[in-house]
């Protein structure tokens, strides 16, 4: 397969859907007792809704939306820290666009900009570094967030800043790791997930070996999946065939881009610049050991947490917001009491409604009318 149309071929989709039907029938799943497959990555969630796969797969197969949206799991207190840095008069605060509207306890970065803070949207950390070079009298801070997918570009930018001797650039590091997150879900009480669609973009960096514990320790299959409709349907079938055979393995459907050993250059950059934190606070999941990274001591001069005083206070989400339950797969977005009413992309109460990979944003964009009418 070379062209994207081949990954969206209706005839191929029909064949896969028939095979899914037969597999589910053999497994004895029913709509009242469905097979639960978690797609870890928010990119998969949006693809599932964009291509209406949720409505095409058999009703005895249930998608469970996972926590693989880095903006969504950012706790409110870290947003407050961003705002505190951004409001300093000497700072140009740079961030990706979907992080600008995530609410803190008082305001979002977008609201801080409206009140005079110099907050700018960038498309990569290199854009932030270019701003630092062009504004030598200002401190430019890049809001580094994301799973292992975005860690390499951030690490390489820090190394570039060191090589070029740029001193007015720093990183507010909120990068997180996927493996402890999945483990936290697997250890959750009442966990009923039968298998996983693994995050293809993360696996491009770290490979497939880090996921082996899911099969060996928890006896659950995981298939690293691509992001086109045929990728997702094929990966689902691979998971179901493992379940039929009574197996639990880590398989790689996304082999056209994912090397089992990962990307050596990217991993070397990550290891050189970052080290694991003892713990990191997640929205809805609480504190998870070794689930985030910080900058190593040799790069402390590029660490915004050391360069600036920040509040670093834990803030609870609004009681009406059920982001945590959605992130853990305990409820669907439309089951949240404020979904589509008090919480919309224009007036978000939680990060899942504003992120480009958030489950609530996917439901709102592609399926809100049906769910809101049903709830009413």
Half-sphere exposure of 265 (CA within 13 A, CB side): 3
What pLDDT score does 4 carry? 77
Kindly state whether residues 201 and 328 are assigned to the same domain: no
Confidence at 286, pLDDT banded by 50, 70, 90 = confident
| R_g of the chain, CA atoms, integer Å | 21
- Total number of domains constituting the chain: 3
Cβ neighbourhood burial of 98 (10 Å; 0-12, 13-18, 19+):
buried
Whether residue 315 is contained in a domain is answered as: no
Domain hosting 45: range is 4-68+183-252
User: Do the Cβ atoms of 244 and 27 come closer than 8 Å?
Assistant: yes
Kindly state whether residues 64 and 16 are assigned to the same domain: yes
What token pair was written down for 314?
């834990």
Kindly state whether residues 370 and 331 are assigned to the same domain: yes
**Of 204, 255, 252, 228, the residue nearest 46 (C-alpha):** 228
H-helix or E-strand spanning residue 327: helix 323-327
Whether residue 245 is contained in a domain is answered as: yes
Q: Quick check: 370 pLDDT over 60?
A: no
**How far is the CA of 71 from the CAs of 82, 97, 140, in angstroms?**
13, 11, 21
pLDDT average, residue stretch 50-56: 92
Q: Which residues pair with 38 in a beta bridge?
A: 64, 196
Cα–Cα dist 227/349, whole Å? 28
Kindly state whether residues 223 and 368 are assigned to the same domain: no
Kindly state whether residues 168 and 24 are assigned to the same domain: no
Phi, psi of 301 (to 5 degrees): -70, -15
Kindly state whether residues 137 and 270 are assigned to the same domain: yes
Confidence at 136, pLDDT banded by 50, 70, 90 = very high
Kindly state whether residues 38 and 81 are assigned to the same domain: no
Of 222, 252, 282, the one marking the end of a domain is 252
Cα–Cα dist 67/208, whole Å? 19
Kindly state whether residues 287 and 363 are assigned to the same domain: no
User: Do the Cβ atoms of 307 and 170 come closer than 8 Å?
Assistant: yes
What pLDDT score does 374 carry? 44
Across the chain, what does the average pLDDT equal?
A: 90
Q: Looking only at Cα atoms, what is the longest distance across the chain?
A: 67
Whether residue 212 is contained in a domain is answered as: yes
Highest mean pLDDT among 290-294, 335-339, 368-372: 290-294
| Region of residue 116 (phi > 0: left; psi between -120 and 50: alpha; otherwise: beta) | left
Q: Quick check: 237 pLDDT over 90?
A: yes
pLDDT average, residue stretch 255-260: 95
Whether residue 360 is contained in a domain is answered as: yes
Cα–Cα dist 367/45, whole Å? 12
Cα–Cα dist 9/23, whole Å? 21
Kindly state whether residues 83 and 170 are assigned to the same domain: yes
Whether residue 84 is contained in a domain is answered as: yes
| Region of residue 91 (phi > 0: left; psi between -120 and 50: alpha; otherwise: beta) | beta
Whether residue 240 is contained in a domain is answered as: yes
The CATH number of residue 141's host domain is 3.40.50.11740
Residues of the chain by 3-state class (helix, strand, coil), percent to 5 = 45, 20, 35
Q: Quick check: 246 pLDDT over 60?
A: yes
Q: Quick check: 317 pLDDT over 70?
A: no
Half-sphere exposure of 308 (CA within 13 A, CB side): 26
Q: Quick check: 210 pLDDT over 80?
A: yes
**Of 43, 97, 95, the residue nearest 67 (C-alpha):** 43
Cα–Cα dist 251/248, whole Å? 9
Whether residue 317 is contained in a domain is answered as: no
| Of 201-215, 245-259, 361-375, the least confident | 361-375
Q: DSSP letter string over 211-223?
A: GHHHHHTT---EE
Kindly state whether residues 21 and 85 are assigned to the same domain: no
Whether residue 257 is contained in a domain is answered as: no
| Region of residue 340 (phi > 0: left; psi between -120 and 50: alpha; otherwise: beta) | left
User: Do the Cβ atoms of 194 and 35 come closer than 8 Å?
Assistant: yes
User: Do the Cβ atoms of 92 and 138 come closer than 8 Å?
Assistant: yes
Kindly state whether residues 23 and 84 are assigned to the same domain: no
Kindly state whether residues 37 and 22 are assigned to the same domain: yes
């Amino acid at each position: 397969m070379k062209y994207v149309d081949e990954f969206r071929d209706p005839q191929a989709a029909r064949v896969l859907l028939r095979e899914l039907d037969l597999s589910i029938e053999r497994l004895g799943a029913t709509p009242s007792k469905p097979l639960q497959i978690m797609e870890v990555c928010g990119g998969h969630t949006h693809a599932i809704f964009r291509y209406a796969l949720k409505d095409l797969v058999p009703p005895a197969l249930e998608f469970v939306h996972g926590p693989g949206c880095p903006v969504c799991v950012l706790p409110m207190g870290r947003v407050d820290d961003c705002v505190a840095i951004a409001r300093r008069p000497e700072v140009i605060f740079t961030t990706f666009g979907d992080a600008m509207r995530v609410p803190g306890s008082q305001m979002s970065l977008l609201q801080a900009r409206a009140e005079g803070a110099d907050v700018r949207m960038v498309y990569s950390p290199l854009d932030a570094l270019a701003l630092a070079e062009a504004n030598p009298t200002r401190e430019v801070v890049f809001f580094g967030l994301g799973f292992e997918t975005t860690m390499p570009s951030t690490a390489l930018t820090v190394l570039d800043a060191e090589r070029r001797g740029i001193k007015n650039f720093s990183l507010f590091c909120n990068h997180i790791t996927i493996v402890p997150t999945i483990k936290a879900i697997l250890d959750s009480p009442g966990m009923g997930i039968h298998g996983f669609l693994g995050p293809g973009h993360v696996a491009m960096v770290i490979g497939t070996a880090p996921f082996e514990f899911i099969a060996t320790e928890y006896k659950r299959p995981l298939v690293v999946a691509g992001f086109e409709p045929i990728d997702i349907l094929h990966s689902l079938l691979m998971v179901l065939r493992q379940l039929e055979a009574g197996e639990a393995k880590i398989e790689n459907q996304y082999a056209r881009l994912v090397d089992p050993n990962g990307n050596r250059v990217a991993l070397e950059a990550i290891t050189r610049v970052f080290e694991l934190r003892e713990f990191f606070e997640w929205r809805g999941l609480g504190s998870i050991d070794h689930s985030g990274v910080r900058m190593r001591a040799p790069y402390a001069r590029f660490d915004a947490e050391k360069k600036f005083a920040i509040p670093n206070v834990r803030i609870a989400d609004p009681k009406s917001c059920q982001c945590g339950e959605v992130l853990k797969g305990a409820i669907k977005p439309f089951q949240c009491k404020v979904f589509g009413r008090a919480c919309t992309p224009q007036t978000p109460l939680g990060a899942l409604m504003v992120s480009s990979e958030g489950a609530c944003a996917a439901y709102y964009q592609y399926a809100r009318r049906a769910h809101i009418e049903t709830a009413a």
